[in-house]
A = this chain, B = another copy of it.
Amino acid sequence: MLNHSEIDGILRALVEPTRRQILERLSSGPATVSQLAEPFGMTFAAVLQHLQALEACGLIRSEKIGRVRTCRIEPGGLAPLADWIAERRLPVERHLDRLGQILAETENQDQKKDEPQ
């Protein structure tokens, strides 16, 4: 079963473009908070707030060694949202499959009608 509050948390995190860009950066490998703050021209505090939002909903995890906090993607963190999307797409795809079958059957019947008696 899908956890709706989980999906809610993920969507609230992703709706902010900076947080999506942070995820895009982290999907190519781990980075420190300073490394993440630099390209966005953001303060350390501002990027830390975004990272906390991403970590709270399980999209990233971070580890602090000494004074340096390193962040990385949480594998499977986007899975609940991917599953929700898959559930929304499948019934429609099934409807399209069924429509395709009906059209194919209709075409076969039309061909039979056109065949010389």
Q: Which A residues fall within an 8 A CB radius of B?
A: 4, 7-8, 11-12, 14-15, 17, 20, 23-24, 27-29, 73, 75, 78-79, 81-82, 84-89, 91-93, 95-96
Contacts and interface: CB of A to CB of B under 8 A. Distances in A.
Given A20-B7, A82-B82, A85-B81, A92 B15 contact: no
Given A7-B20, A15-B12, A20-B7, A88 B73 contact: yes
A78 B89 contact: yes
Nearest to A24: B88
Given A12-B15, A27-B92, A82-B82, 20 more contacts: A4-B17, A7-B20, A8-B17, A11-B11, A11-B15, A24-B88, A27-B88, A27-B91, A28-B91, A29-B91, A73-B91, A73-B92, A75-B89, A75-B93, A75-B96, A78-B85, A79-B89, A81-B85, A82-B89, A85-B85
A84 B88 CA distance: 16
Contacts of A27: 87-89, 91-92
